[in-house]
Structure 1
Amino acid sequence: MLELQNVRKQFDGKVVLDGIDLTIADGEIVSMLGQSGSGKTTLLNIILGLTPPDSGAIIYNGRDITRVSMKERGFNIVFQDYALFPNLNAYKNIVYGLKNKPGLLSPAELDGIIDFLELRPHLTKSVDQLSGGQKQRVALARTLATKPSILLLDEPLSALDGVIKETIKARIKALTKKYNLTCIIVTHDPEEALTMSDRVLIIDQGKVSQFGTPRQVIHQPENSFIEEFILRQLRIKRDNIFQLFEGCHV
């Protein structure tokens, strides 16, 4: 469905992405995992259309979209800070993207999104009256309302913790199945990547370090960086890592 071919990018003479090859299937959840400065956010922006690559190609459903604008690609993103409009209530935030797209979403479809994300009791609340989890769900609803062909999430759980974090993780996995969405997630947290994704792309210094299922990453790390990166953040022995992810996509 989405293919990146030898994508390269540099800023001010510094190579940020170096020969990225990647194929993501329809309906797949893929996490892009890496340390700060690894290039994962730049890669997300290239896929979205915010940043052009210096070279390489982006193919979507057999069409070269490398030079196609972000608006024409039909992808959409939920930013790390949610980017909600503080002067609008929850409902007006959700439907904001539909103002210039009459007929894109039927009232029944909109109601379905609102009810699926359990937002009906919060529709008249202002943004500052919403909890972190509620803001995340409003941002997800606003994005889903535009019927994106690919859903991009930038650090979707970074501002959440505890039960709220686990609830949003479950929501994201459920909505990708319900709406048959291809979902690409940027995260610096191995636990998030391994428990949410069908496959994990690990980026190190602008290059693909490994791209595989959570099981492959845990049991068959392709180099010492992957093992050390996961171990350092999880702070447990490698033999016990897989036990932590029972029930994840493996």
Structure 2
Amino acid sequence: MLELKHIKKSYDGMPVLRDISIQVGDGEIVSILGPSGCGKTTLLNLILGITDADEGQILYNGEDLTHTVMEKRGFNIVFQDYALFPNLNVYKNIIYGLKNRPGISAREEVEELIDLLGLREHLDKRIDQLSGGQKQRVALARTMVMKPRILLLDEPLSALDGVIKESIKDRIRTIAKEYHLTTIIVTHDPEEALTLSDRVLIIDQGSISQYAQPAEIICRPQNDFVRKFILNQLEIKRNNIYALFGGGAARGKAV
């Protein structure tokens, strides 16, 4: 279990995160949702260890990681731009991290992951020969072979749309559940957060507005910000979202 306790972070005297306290269960998918500039990427960076909190604690299974360097936390991230190596083919990108830590994943495990992500036919291709969705799958595979304790995803679907976006979303959820992998996703898209996650953390101006299961957020928004943010962002697609969580009854309660 990951636990954040009273996390605070400021830059140049300006508060970015204000007293963030949450628990993320083992194997749970949690999305960090909010408008641009609300502090969600800063929170992801604090969990990963790229930056340090001004106050508070980060605990994993009771172990205090607050001052543990990123390399020793065992958390891995897939960045928004994928950060793949253009001079290596798909297969070499996937196994790149194993050259220094070969015992993490056996060849059979790598092959299983390749098949799970549907990359078998692309292994010899250059990165510039891949679509956005294929690059995202390669980035996921490269991260997964390192067997992270927690998988962090920074806007994983922002560059995708349509059928490709839905396919990658399904694969992310399949991987998280297949490997019982705690997964934390930063997104600004409520539809993505509500349909992909077990729980959603909604942040407004560095503070928690609501942390709950998608159905509860839809049916019982905790405050005006959550209600307006969700409804405004989902104005076109909200009927599809409501249908997932109880149809008209859910919609009536949320509105």
- For the aligned pair, the TM-score class normalised by the smaller chain equals over 0.9
- 2: CA distance between counterparts of 1:238 and 1:106? 44
Q: Which amino acid aligns with 1:212?
A: A
- Aligned residue type for 2:99: K
Structure 1 segments, 4+ long, off by >6 Å, are 237-240
Q: 2:190 corresponds to which letter in structure 1?
A: P
In structure 1, list runs of 5 or more residues that go unmatched. none
CA 1:238 to 1:130, structure 2 compared with 1: closer, same or farther past 3 Å? closer
**TM-score between the two structures when normalised by the length of structure 1:** 0.96
List runs of 5+ in structure 2 lacking aligned partners. 248-255
Cα gap change, 1:127 to 1:226, in 2 (>3 Å): same
- The CA deviation at 1:95 is 0.7
Q: Give the corresponding residue for 2:220.
A: 220
In the TM superposition, residue 244 of structure 1 has moved relative to its aligned partner by 5.4
| Identity within the alignment, % | 66
Any conservation in 2 of the 1:195–1:245 contact (CA below 8 Å)?
no
- Residue in structure 2 matched with residue 192 of structure 1 by the alignment: 192
> What CA distance in whole angstroms lies between the structure 2 residues aligned with 1:167 and 1:95?
23
1:230 aligns with 2:230: yes
1:164 equivalent in structure 2:
164
**2:191 aligned partner, one-letter code:** E
The corresponding residue for 1:113 is 113
Q: C-alpha displacement at 1:104, in angstroms?
A: 1.3
The answer for the alignment partner of 2:83 in structure 1 is 83
Mapping of residues 18-37 of structure 1, within 5 Å = 18-37=18-37
Q: Residue type matched to 2:98 in 1? A: L
Q: Residues 155 and 246 of structure 1: is their aligned pair in 2 closer, same or farther, counting only changes over 3 Å?
A: farther
Aligned equivalents of 1:142, 1:5: Cα separation in 2: 31
Aligned-partner SS, 2:56: strand
Q: Cα RMSD (Å) of the superposition? A: 1.7
TM-score (norm 2): 0.94
State the secondary structure of the residue aligned to 1:38. Answer: coil
2: distance between equivalents of 1:200 and 1:164? 23
**Contact 1:5 1:20 (C-alpha < 8 Å) held by counterparts:** yes
Other-structure match for 1:123:
123
Q: What is the identity, as a one-letter code, of the residue corresponding to 2:196? A: M
Deviation string, structure 1 residues 68-126 (Cα, Å, up to 9, x no partner): 01110000000011111111111111011111102111010110111110101001100
